[in-house]
A and B are shown apart, each in its own frame.
Chain A
Amino acid sequence: MQVKYIQPFVNATVKVFKDFLGVDIKAGQPFLFNHNENKYSYDISGIIGIGGHTLGIVVVSFPKLVALDLASKITGESIKIFDDTVVDLVGEIVNIIAGNAKKGLEEYKLVISLPSIVKGVNHQITGVSGVPMIGIPFSATKGDIYLFVSLKDLITA
């Protein structure tokens, strides 16, 4: 997987947090994710499948405190548990990131799935078999958010 495929997702993530949630986040150093050495902490993930001229997944993972903070912020209510609103928000965030990233990869006709949500303390994420998964941390007020992208090499449409 080439690095140039990652940048549109990073740009979209920063834009979504700024425009949708009013939060400034900055991308940290990308890393090659190894799920056997999972040292990252998160409690809820939004996952989008990517099809079309590639095969892959995009995942955005949040620690509980960050997800609750963002859900409270966007609804104006104090949300203290993983309810439907948090699930809805995480799904919408990953959906907008994937949809916006397509703009930066227009030469590859990508198709995105509906989001799926996984909850659980330190749950494990695995990318497409045999394809590396790149992780990018983003710092938010109450913890780090992680973007994971795993895409098979794209084929020009």
Chain B
Amino acid sequence: MKALVVDDSRIMRNIIINILKEKKMDGDDILDAPEGKTALEILNKESIDLLFVDWNMPKLNGLDLVKIVRKIEKYQDLPIIMVTSEAARYNVMEAIKAGVTDYIVKPITGVTIMEKIKAYM
């Protein structure tokens, strides 16, 4: 299983990566990117099984990334978990409409992430 963590905050990426490692994921199977464009390159090159994506990022934001990813045939059923500070209900609805599978509002805890990813690992 291969996961990709996309967030412009290195601290946030490391928090999620460390949680995945606690779930016994091999560090080599966890990739990360600081924004959407780089993430898209990785998604095209690799075969990703689980995607964590922030919303507000430079170059290509998370919402637009999700819309693009959903148009790629191999990723139509990819579990995409949006991890964002955007807490308003209309944001959640917009993200679901764009194609996210699950939505986590920052600040995150290990417990929240663990609960959410159970179904996808």
CA distance A101 to B86 in the complex (A): 9
Does the CB pair A92–B12 fall under 8 Å?
A: yes
A-B CB contacts (within 8 Å), total count: 62
In the assembled complex, the CB of A12 is this many whole angstroms from the nearest CB of chain B, namely: 8
Contact A92 B87 (CB under 8 A): no
Identify B87's interface contact among A20, A74, A91, A99, CB under 8 A: A99
Contacts known (A102-B88, A103-B88, A112-B56); A20 close to B9, Cβ less than 8 A:
no
Which of the four size classes fits the interface of chain B? 20 to 34
Q: Mark B38-60, 1 if CB is under 8 A from A, else 0.
A: 00000000000000000011100
B residues in contact (CB < 8 Å) with A = 8-12, 56-58, 84-91, 105-109
* B-contacting 9-mer, from A31-39, A81-89, A127-135, A141-149: A81-89
The reply to whether B56 and A114 contact each other, CB–CB distance below 8 Å, is yes
Q: Does A6 reach chain B (CB closer than 8 Å)?
A: no
Distance of A74 Cα from B14 Cα, bound (Å) = 11
- Type the 1/0 row for A104-115, where 1 means its CB is closer than 8 Å to any CB of B: 011001101110
Interface size of A as a range? 20 to 34
Indicate if the CB atoms of B11 and A99 lie closer than 8 Å.
no
- Nearest-CB residue, chain A, relative to B87: A103
Chain B residues contacting A84 (CB-CB under 8 Å) are: 10
A102 near B56 (CB under 8 angstroms)?
no
Partner of A102, one of B12, B87, B107: B87
Q: List 9 A-B contacts (CB under 8 A).
A: A95-B9, A97-B85, A100-B106, A101-B87, A102-B86, A109-B90, A112-B85, A112-B86, A114-B57
